[in-house]
Amino acid sequence: MRRFAIVLGSMAGGILAGLNPAMAASCPGNPNALGTSRTITVDPQTMPRIGTVQYRNSLPLNDHEVVITFDDGPLAPYSNRILDALAAECVKVTYFLVGRMAAANPELVRRIYNSGHTIGTHSQNHPLTFDQMAMPRVEREVTAGIASVQAAVGDPRAVAPFFRIPGLLRTQQVEHYLASKSIAVWSADEVADDWFKQVTAKDIVQKAMSRIEAKKRGVLLLHDIHPATAMAVPTLLRELKARGYRIVQAVPPGDRPKALPDAPATLVASGDKNGWPRVTKTSANIVESVPASRYKTERKVVTERFERRPKHWRDDRHRDPVVTSAISRKREKTRTTVSDAGWTRFAH
């Protein structure tokens, strides 16, 4: 009888572990976390091209398994908001970082890595001409992007041999080159149109969920440089959990450093106004480098100062340097969206 009870107990434990994989141990403080159910090792030799948006094959995922990926960053404050949301749910994802963005935000690159996410690359400058460029330029974009991300993270072994072509503008030549370097080319199984102008967080969640529900699994592509995406991620994670989806993290073969020392405080990059990345020195970037508590206080002070002004001052928003920078940020964002118009060809 006693033995029977032990067997029953271990069975129940097994069932619970299946339903709620290692959640209690891996996500302290959030017993209902979505969590990360397992990792999948992606070897570029056996999985050179991934994602049914463009290829025949994708990752060998089971029913109701999703791999989440983020492109184009890192960029404060949005990447940080997303990292916070992922940490709250103990969800591990894969990032495809742009070299110049990584060089401008090395502390964010290290935060991504030290949070346990996988880091791949997405070219040095994000040109939307991979299907037109001469191969020497393609090779420079790929290798410089990898070198920038490796330098930002501080350890070459921390960067996975995973590459996503900007705009998914693939050619066979580009794919052959990447295969020759043992780099896996990542497309996607689902996109959420989160780079579209004026898209809302609600739209992003709806599109992501309906496209995932259609295939019941897949590699989801998002961008961690957009405010709407940052707002959508917490809801998206809750929706995935509510509909019984599990998160799988893609990792490269071989050993990776466990954790890297945090980067020393760095200056905010002024960026290049004429090209990618569209990183401007904004108040948001500066605020991001101070602790969260101070951030809230500063936001409040700025708001109060703004509200106290006479109405004609408030209407003339260019008088307020904070608001002016917010407007210029919005303009930069618009340019980013416009320049990414090539993506629309993959919209479902």
Point out which residues bind Zn ion (CB under 5 A): 71-72, 166
Shortest CB 130 distance to Zn ion, Å: 11
Shortest CB 184 distance to Zn ion, Å: 17
Question: Which residue's CB is nearer to Zn ion, number 23 or number 102?
Answer: 102
Helix (H, G, I), strand (E, B) or coil at 296: helix
Question: Which residue's CB is nearer to Zn ion, number 36 or number 187?
Answer: 187
**Residue the block writes with tokens 């290049």:** 272
Question: Which residue's CB is nearer to Zn ion, number 89 or number 175?
Answer: 175
Shortest CB 126 distance to Zn ion, Å: 6
| CA separation for the pair 318, 325 (Å, rounded) | 9
Residue 125 has φ and ψ, to the nearest 5°, of: -120, 0
DSSP 158: G
Residue 51 has φ and ψ, to the nearest 5°, of: 120, 120
Strand 190-191 to 246-251 pairing: unpaired
Shortest CB 223 distance to Zn ion, Å: 7
Shortest CB 104 distance to Zn ion, Å: 16
Shortest CB 245 distance to Zn ion, Å: 24
Question: Which residue's CB is nearer to Zn ion, number 65 or number 72?
Answer: 72
Question: Which residue's CB is nearer to Zn ion, number 90 or number 109?
Answer: 109
Shortest CB 72 distance to Zn ion, Å: 4
Question: Which residue's CB is nearer to Zn ion, number 51 or number 166?
Answer: 166
- Please tell me whether the peptide bond between 291 and the residue prior to it is cis, using omega within 30 degrees of 0: no
Strand 190-191 to 49-50 pairing: unpaired
- Please tell me whether the peptide bond between 74 and the residue prior to it is cis, using omega within 30 degrees of 0: yes
293 CB-contact burial (10 Å; exposed 0-12 / middle 13-18 / buried 19+):
exposed
Instruction: Count the neighbouring beta carbons within 10 Å of the beta carbon of residue 98.
Output: 27
Q: Quick one: CA dihedral 250, 252, 258, 262, positive or negative?
A: negative
| CA separation for the pair 204, 239 (Å, rounded) | 12
Instruction: Count the neighbouring beta carbons within 10 Å of the beta carbon of residue 81.
Output: 18
Strand 38-41 to 159-163 pairing: unpaired
Shortest CB 224 distance to Zn ion, Å: 11
Question: Which residue's CB is nearer to Zn ion, number 35 or number 167?
Answer: 167
Question: Which residue's CB is nearer to Zn ion, number 10 or number 132?
Answer: 132
Question: Which residue's CB is nearer to Zn ion, number 25 or number 338?
Answer: 338
Q: Quick one: CA dihedral 133, 152, 339, 348, positive or negative?
A: positive
For 181-207, give one letter per residue: b (16+ CB within 10 A) or e.
Answer: eebbbbbbbbbbbbbbeebebebbbbb
Question: Which residue's CB is nearer to Zn ion, number 71 or number 89?
Answer: 71
Shortest CB 221 distance to Zn ion, Å: 9
Shortest CB 348 distance to Zn ion, Å: 18
